[in-house]
Structure 1
């Protein structure tokens, strides 16, 4: 015989043996939000236990970890981690406003079900930025600048997509891409490096055949590559493919790209990523960067070339 749980102000639903509170509420039609997919990696499914706490299973390790960070009181539980062991349990959902309902229920894109908005993945993270672009902007007409930016970004996109990367975001004269959405991390890292080298090669050709003859200017880029576990999700606000990738490894990759100027090398890769390469390229050497939030210097490999324009 199933137990029952009362959602205050909503309904009483049956809970089968082995079901979590979240599974039971979803099975009975309650729009119970769960951004991580019910894996104990977010807090959107949390409930306040009003009665019958003694008839709930003890907190899981995932739940204890989150409760320690968020400092939740004992009567706040994660519905995806909690099962019901007896009658008399009453809870109240804590995330339930109209905006949440639109994001998770009414506004979901075709092919996306509740809970399919984020997952943890290990990816290769790729940042690239155009060097010495400001002098070009200052010396040329706005429409010429836009035209050249389109040419350069088309060059970037061609290399990234050729090696199965996905562009996540662009900002000014740089962009951010990831590799590994459909491959293992070693292959993803190889692909990121190959895409970077293709960009460097294609940019040299572009400079020699187009920029010098027509604009008397050349461009250089800085590339940073790192690997790590990140959250891949869908922000669902109607922009391009809505994909976003977040996590501390993303910040490290961005800082590696920013360090290319001070290291005077066009391509910087973390030692962690370099070790994953089956046939690692020749490195001009290694260096150690002091990154914010990292207690020890971060080892990187220099696999590009020194800049012609310092």
Structure 2
């Protein structure tokens, strides 16, 4: 798949695009609305203590929202968020949604319809007719009929809608996994406690209303509007509900009309790597084309141009595509995407294209995190380390499966920490073996060699400490063989699905693995090539020197064997 590529945008193009403005507005208005719900719920929680406390502290929690700036902020957020939702629904060429997208869309459509009566009979009635919409009034109006169930469902839907939005926004951050369990617990606990408070205070009000004197005094303090004014509020409620339904119907009608028009236009063919090709009208994004044709395609953020997991490599036809806009270019730059890679959710082809999705359909949020350029596949000089436990097969036959797994996990943990502390990255745990790379994050051969040797020494130290811990459990101490070689290798993320990870391939890797195998033959804990020592700037005068010819090569390789990796000189 080769083609001339559209130029990447210059620095002058790095400004807010239309799609980016819409995404920002959706996010900001959503956060405003969620903040309102959170403050409202926080006030509700005081009902677990008493109705009087909940009422007394209402001004502390809701004071800003009652003010003119707060009112205009809230009203603007509602209108903009709702309008953008209708616009997003219209813009979608396909309604094939993931479960979370469908749930967010459904709750978002129901919340305004369900909530409008509550808004009309409280805030609007206060503004128009000076109704005193205290908690006592609200609970009295809601309890005793089907309205209490409707209000409870509205509370849950509003909270669920906001939590879904927050989750799929925050999950694109590397730190989110660390706090997710706490946020999930809060997401469950908050509405549960609010509903308990709601029903507890509601029953309390209904019990007090049985006292005729208290009921008369309370209703008088509410300043209920007369019947004609109440009828006006009901008419206003019904009018807004019909208006929302009409607007929703208009959106679907506009979608239908647009689809009819586009169906008569010239179609484009999208060829997927692997042989499948589909013909679709112009105007659809590559992600929508995949969904409409039941072609699995990753999209963690739901096609909002944030996660990069829908990215594709474009072949034939790439030269006819417009360059990425500012939003797409920023996301591609974040992941160090090579030329020819585009976001499927942002590209609307108007010509035939050949594409290859770069991630499996089950891609996770971390697949969209910022990554170094090396993960996409580069040839560079690195140091490669292989390590293997000696005689562990025999040991495993003498131990219970639980003991074998426990010992291996301790060994892997110790070796992994030693490698990481030296600046390396473990790329593979296989059987009782370990593979690690050094120097792939920066092109510094000296750093790579010294880091690998530091790791070997630290691994030997950790193994001795581990043998002390297991001295009463093992008949003989654990023994290890290490091989280290340095040279050019191809580095990148390889694999499939969740088994994808950083690794390296090439002669250098094969030779390092061979040196690890020779450590057993030479009765050595460490076998290291001359290239590594030369790059590190050290010599091993007391080590046994050997000359081997690696498989597939004709030039001998000079290597050194050390009985103990602890005999390596200390490196700073």
TM range (shorter): 0.5 to 0.7
The two structures, once aligned, show a CA RMSD in angstroms of: 3.6
Tell me if the contact between 2:449 and 2:535 (Cα under 8 Å) persists in the aligned partners.
yes
Q: Deviation string for 1:111-140 (max 9, x for gaps)?
A: 469x97222221110100000111211111
Q: How far apart, CA to CA, are the structure 2 residues paired with 1:22 and 1:252?
A: 42
**SS in structure 2 of the partner of residue 215 of structure 1:** coil
Q: How far apart are residue 143 of structure 1 and its match? A: 0.3
1:264 aligns with 2:523: yes
2:557 alignment partner in structure 1:
298
On the 8 A contact 1:283/1:302 being kept in 2, the answer is no
Aligned match of 1:181 in 421, 440, 463? 440
Rounded Cα–Cα distance in structure 2 between residues aligned with 1:152 and 1:236: 25
The 10-residue stretch of structure 1 (273-282 or 247-256) with the greater mean CA deviation from structure 2: 273-282
Q: Deviations over 1:131-157 (max 9, x none)?
A: 011121111111001110011111101
What displacement does 1:250 show? Answer: 0.7
After TM superposition, the structure 1 = structure 2 runs for residues 69-108 of structure 1, keeping only pairs within 5 Å, are 96=354, 100-101=356-357, 103=359
| 1:88-237 superposed matches below 5 A | 96=354, 100-101=356-357, 103=359, 109-111=367-369, 117-183=376-442, 184-207=444-467, 209-235=468-494, 237=496
Deviations 1:66-116 (A, max 9, x none): xxxxxxxxxxxxxxxxxxxxxxxxxx98xx46xx33549996931469x97
C-alpha distance in structure 2 between counterparts of 1:278 and 1:104, whole Å: 43
Q: What is the aligned partner in structure 1 of residue 533 from structure 2?
A: 274
Q: Which runs of 4+ in 1 moved over 4 A?
A: 8-11, 20-23, 25-29, 104-108
Aligned length: 231
Q: Secondary structure, in 3 states, of the residue corresponding to 1:230? A: strand
Q: Which moved more, 1:135-144 or 1:272-281?
A: 272-281
Relative distance call for 1:101 and 1:202 in structure 2 (3 A) is closer
Which of structures 1 and 2 has the larger relative contact order (alpha carbons within 8 angstroms, sep 6+)?
Answer: 1
Query: For the structure 1 residues 22 and 260, does the alpha-carbon distance in structure 2 shift closer, same or farther, using more than 3 Å as the test?
Result: farther
* Local SS of the residue matching 1:259: helix
Helix, strand or coil at the partner of 1:214: coil
For structure 1, which runs of at least 5 residues remain unmatched after alignment? 12-19, 30-35, 45-91
- In the other structure, the counterpart of 1:246 is 505
Contact 1:282 1:303 in 2 (8 A): no
Are the aligned partners of 1:260 and 1:266 in contact in 2 as well (CA < 8 Å)?
Answer: yes
Assess if the C-alpha contact under 8 Å between 2:523 and 2:563 holds in 1. no
State how far apart, in whole Å, the 2-side matches of 1:27 and 1:122 are: 36
Rounded Cα–Cα distance in structure 1 between residues aligned with 2:317 and 2:535: 39
Instruction: Determine the C-alpha separation between the residues in 2 that align with 1:26 and 1:126.
Output: 44
State the TM-score, normalizing by the size of structure 2: 0.36
Range that drifts further, 236-245 or 134-143? 236-245
What does the per-residue CA deviation read over 1:215-249, in whole Å, with 9 as the maximum and x for residues that have no partner? 22211111011111112212364437721212221
CA–CA distance in structure 2, aligned partners of residues 246 and 22 of structure 1: 32
CA deviation profile, 1:39-84 (whole Å, cap 9, x unmatched): 9xxxx9xxxxxxxxxxxxxxxxxxxxxxxxxxxxxxxxxxxxxxxx
Stretches of structure 2 lacking an aligned partner (at least 5 in a row): 7-267, 271-281, 283-314, 325-336, 342-351, 566-572
Rg larger in 1 or in 2? 2
Q: TM-score, normalized by length of structure 1?
A: 0.64
In 2 relative to 1, CA 272–28 (structure 1 residues): closer, same or farther, beyond 3 Å? Answer: same
The CA distance in 1 between the partners of 2:363 and 2:413, in whole Å, is 32
Distance change >3 Å, CA 137–CA 104, structure 1 → 2: closer
Partners of 1:127 and 1:254 within 8 A in 2: yes
Given that residues 167 and 178 in structure 1 are in contact (C-alpha distance below 8 angstroms), is that contact kept between their aligned partners in structure 2? Answer: yes
Q: Does the C-alpha gap of structure 1 residues 234 and 216 become closer, same or farther in structure 2, counting only changes over 3 Å? A: same
The structural deviation recorded for 1:180 is 0.7
Q: Give 1:298 deviation, angstroms.
A: 1.8
SS of 2:380's equivalent?
A: strand
